[in-house]
Amino acid sequence: MDDFSHVQMENPLMASVPEVLVEFVKACLERGMTRADIAQAAESGGWSPREARNALDAFADVALPVPVPKKRVSGSPRDAFLHLLGMAMLYTAAFATGVILFQFIERWLPAATDNAAAFYAGSLRAAAAALLVSLPILGLVHRTIGRDASRDPAVRLTPIYRTLAYLTLLITALIMAGDLISAIVCFLSGDLTARFILKAATILMLAGGIYLWFSSDVRREEMIGSATGLATIPPAPRWRDWLQRIGAALAVVSLVAALYTVGSPFRQRLLQFDASRVSDLRSIQQKVETYYERQGILPATLEALAEHPMTFLDRTNDPVTGTAYRYERTADDTYTLTAIFDLPSPPDREQPRWNRDEFFSHSSGEQLFRLSMPHKENRGNPEIRVPK
């Protein structure tokens, strides 16, 4: 294989041109034929104008008696690293933005069966963390690639970028097609709700924006093949700058909204402390009930629970301050528990059905809970009444 066929294999502009056509063009140029005559002859042989043009573009248009091959376009390991990293961060940022928008849509337009406040907050935190990491890296990679392209326009034609660009076009096209199919199916079945429409529009907006960006890059790349040289790069459409600004603004606004909704890390830490206190109170309640079932009376103090393995408590003190939880027996079957909480319980926190004592609903500061032992007739299976 000679040097010109090697150019044809590695130059992405020539990726769709057979080697035999490149050899034909080379032979014609060596015999002094004009480019117009060579293109006309190639088209007469059944080759498309684009194939003929790409084959001619493998050689520089200079006044020399021998064909001069153009510079090969190949990607270095550094180029591959930058493009792969940038694409991965783009996918991450787009997915995280979509998750945040989905969570707010579900929050504003809840379904009748929704009951996932904890998952809502956890999803927002995970998506916000993904944006905090991916956006700076994406911006740095984009700036680095842009600086490299300004120095060497051939960077825009590296095989790794072409492959990733076309792969992204395929993925986003399939996502948009699936999104539209789902919308049509919901419309035909009568289930086209406002919540579904907003979610479908979100997917279409994110996938469509990415598709427009890379499709414009691909079109510019195809135009480079007909240019006088790699240094001549067609200008980018003006809407690309607006598309980039809108995409960045959407991601940043989504990030800020998610961080504002989930609260500061300091507040989350205090909520975790309160959740630990609630768990301690639940454990004390369960052990007191077990003691009552075994002894027939309530324990005089919490220390009495340590006398038997089945009622032993790992912790009877506040996990932060070390202050002991206050226990007081008020009657034969009633008692009180007192604890100090840092914050009021969040209004959207899930209230378990089994929590009859409402430990999860509390204010800040010292809270006293009045508890009673369950009656024996309520410990077994509840009575089932059959309607007449």
How many whole angstroms separate alpha carbon 274 and alpha carbon 261? 19
pLDDT digits (tens, 9 = 90+) for 273-284: 998 998 999 899
The pLDDT mean for the chain works out to 81
- Cβ within 8 Å of residue 231, ≥6 positions away: 153
For residue 236, pLDDT over 80 is answered with no
Can you state the angle between helices 117-151 and 238-262, rounded to 10 degrees? 150
Residues forming a β-bridge with 328:
336
Residue 265 pLDDT class (50, 70, 90 cuts)? confident
Task: Compute the average pLDDT of residues 165-184.
Answer: 92
pLDDT at site 188: 86
Please choose, from the candidates 84, 199, 75, the residue with its C-alpha nearest in 3D space to the C-alpha of residue 138: 84
Per-residue pLDDT at 326 exceeds 90: yes
- Residue 15 reports pLDDT greater than 60: no
Q: Output the pLDDT for position 155.
A: 66
The rounded Cα 289 to chain-centroid distance in angstroms is: 46
For the ranges 199-203, 222-226, 342-346, which has the lowest average pLDDT?
Answer: 222-226
Q: Can you tell me the distance from the alpha carbon of 89 to that of 343, in angstroms, rounded to the nearest whole number?
A: 37
Report which residue type is found at 326. R
Return the CA Rg of the chain. Answer: 35
Q: Tabulate helix, strand, coil % of the chain (nearest 5).
A: 65, 5, 30
Give per-residue pLDDT as tens, 82-108.
Answer: 989 999 999 999 999 999 999 999 888
Q: Of 44-53, 184-193, 286-295, 376-385, where does mean pLDDT reach its minimum?
A: 376-385
| Secondary structure class of 268 (helix, strand, coil) | helix
Question: In angstroms, rounded to a whole number, what is the distance separating the alpha carbons of residues 48 and 51?
Answer: 5
70's torsion region: left (phi>0), alpha (psi -120 to 50) or beta? beta
| Ordered strands of the 334-341 beta sheet | 326-329, 334-341, 365-372
DSSP 317: B
**Neighbouring residues of 209: CB distance < 8 A, sequence distance ≥ 6:** 243, 246, 247
Which distant-in-sequence residues (6+ apart) come within 8 Å of 226 by Cβ?
53, 57
